[in-house]
Amino acid sequence: MTVKKKPKGAARARARSPRPADAPVRVIVLAAGVGSRMRSSLPKVLHRVGGRPLLDAVLDTAERLSPAETVVVLGAARARVETAIEGRPVRVALQDPPLGTGDAVRCGLELLDASDGPILVLSGDVPLLRPETLAELVRKRGAEDLDLAFLSFRPPDPGAFGRVVRDSRGRVRSIVESKNATPRESKIAEVNAGVYCFRAEALRRCIAAIRKNPLTDEFYLTDAIELIARAGGGVEAVEIPDWREAWGINTRRDLAAAEEIERRRSVERALDSGVTVLDPATVRIGPHVEIAPDAVLHPFVCLEGRTRIGEGCEVFPFTRIADSQVDAGAAVGPHCDVEGARIGPRSRVGPYSRLRPGTVLEEGVRIGNFVETKNAVLGRGTKALHLAYLGDAEIGADVNIGAGVITCNYDGENKNRTEIGEGAFVGSDSQLVAPVTVGKGAYVGAGSTITKNVPDGALAISREGQKNIEGWAARRKSKKAH
């Protein structure tokens, strides 16, 4: 009879807790730090890189893994951060008082159920990590059935990062904080990125076993590496090929460096997808922006939020477009500000135009210099080329809006709508006092104030009759002479 030996080390851990490698990952994001080195009243994780808060960047990346659960651990600034992530599919744990990363993970674990499977621990101030890197970390842990896989990297200057200590066989034994490192350990180039993927059971054991550091009175999650290694568990570092991904934000200098890395990444993505970027050093493209091939971006263009730029569009210098759609063949001129708007195919906007939320320009619309629109729909071929305000308006196709036209939409209490029919002509320096309708093919004489509906095909004029006083100028000059 064959007697089976009792499994040891990592094999013993695996025997206790078999689990399919493809079990859904659960995520704990550590975001309780005060960030005192930022010298700011704003919580560190709400500072922005690439147009979005650091914590949003981390959560966006984590969501690409389709996690079963996500818990965000917050601290003293809970109220402000919780408001900022409202609507996301996450739960919030509170760490108060702050007692280190090990304690923060303990707080997060309390909100997760007791099931097994991988648990991914992320820092809320590492915004440049790519989903592919996290997916590889999770895959590595599962494929090799490890108790822990964590990310490491080799920056040009290891500085204050924790060193990854290996034995003579190359096995990970511990992470040593830089301030505690020996001269020999300080020379280690491989450092800890602070991103971990644990087997759930192994994480729970470690959190229970981690002891408070006698110098700082805090619990350090990095102690888990040594605990697992000493017990014979499976632990391995997964090195990030591009060290910049692990860039953590602790100071304003870190923030500026991360901003430049993210900016360059976004420009490179655009170039690789067939976009012409005339001055890559000055263009900024947000992480959620989509740009079709053959679009052209001029210097100092800023594309933010969930903006979509269609094929063959051209965006000229010093223009900002946020959370908007620009359809194929459209052009947005210099010095424009576009937010929450849709610009139809082959439309022309600018220079010096402002399109506010709710603006919809249909095909071939022309918006010129110093024209502002808000919550307004402009039909195909309509043009407003100079110095106009069009708010809360429904404007049909092929309408001409003259210089200085204003839709007077606010009566002090309510916003009211103006409707202008297809083919109408509104003369310069006219005010349309809403609610009011100008019918199809109707004309409004220049300098008119329209308070009543204008029927289809009618001409509306409300200015007073002109009066000429003969000889008035000469008499005025004569009086001045005396």
Q: What is the DSSP string of 372-420?
A: EEEEEEE-TT-EEEES-EEEEEEE-TT-EE-TT-EEE-B-SS-B--EEE
d(CA 404, CA 390): 10
Least confident of 205-219, 355-369, 442-456: 205-219
* pLDDT confidence of residue 415: 95
pLDDT-derived band at 160, boundaries 50, 70, 90: confident
User: Region 109-129: what's the mean pLDDT?
Assistant: 93
Q: What is the mean pLDDT of residues 61-85?
A: 94
Catalytically annotated residue among 47, 288, 298, 386: 386
Report residue 31's pLDDT band, with 50, 70 and 90 as the boundaries: very high
What's the Rg (C-alpha) of the chain? 31
Within 10 A of 96 (CB to CB), how many other CB atoms are there?
A: 11
Shortest CA distance to 393 belongs to which of 411, 380, 406, 412? 406
pLDDT of 17 above 60: no
Cis upstream peptide for 118 (omega within 30°)? no
- Whole-angstrom distance between the N-terminal and C-terminal Cα of the chain? 134
Name the residue among 364, 372, 354, 429 with its Cα closest to residue 397: 364
CB count within 10 Å of CB 412 equals 4
d(CA 180, CA 165): 12
What is residue 9's predicted lDDT score, i.e. its pLDDT?
Answer: 44
- pLDDT at residue 460 tops 70: yes
* pLDDT tens for each residue of 426-448: 999 999 999 999 999 999 999 99
Determine the Cα–Cα distance for residues 389 and 440; give it in Å rounded to an integer: 21
Contact between 287 and 57 under an 8 Å Cβ cutoff? The reply is yes
Distance CA 365, CA 346 (A): 8
Read off the amino acid at residue 66: S
298 in catalytic set? no
pLDDT confidence of residue 350: 96
**Residue 206 Rama label (left phi>0; alpha psi -120 to 50; beta):** alpha
pLDDT (mean) for 451-462: 96
CA atoms of 198 and 145, how far apart (whole Å):
10
Q: Which pLDDT score, from 0 to 100, does residue 19 have? A: 46
Q: What is the mean pLDDT of residues 189-202?
A: 96
Distance CA 457, CA 366 (A): 23
Structure tokens at 23: 């079990």
User: How many angstroms from the chain centroid is the CA of residue 184?
Assistant: 42
Confidence of residue 229 (pLDDT cuts 50, 70, 90): very high
DSSP letter for 465, please. Answer: P
Average pLDDT, the chain: 92
Query: In a 10 Å sphere around its CB, with 0-12 CB exposed, 13-18 middle and 19+ buried, how is residue 332 labelled?
Result: buried
At residue 4 the predicted structure's pLDDT band, cuts being 50, 70 and 90, is very low
Q: Which of 395, 434, 432 minimizes the C-alpha distance to 416?
A: 434
What pLDDT band is residue 22 in, cutting at 50, 70 and 90?
low
Look up residue 161 and give its DSSP letter: S
- What local confidence, expressed as pLDDT, does residue 76 receive? 86
Q: How many CB atoms lie within 10 A of CB 289?
A: 23
Is the per-residue pLDDT at 306 higher than 70? yes
Q: Is the per-residue pLDDT at 482 higher than 80?
A: no
Q: Look at residue 264 and tell me whether its pLDDT is greater than 50.
A: yes
Which residues lie across from 285 on neighbouring strands? 303
Average of pLDDT values for 453-469? Answer: 91
Residues 6 or more apart in contact with residue 461 via CB below 8 angstroms: 444, 445, 448
pLDDT in tens, 87-100: 999 999 999 898 99
Q: Which pTM value belongs to this model?
A: 0.86
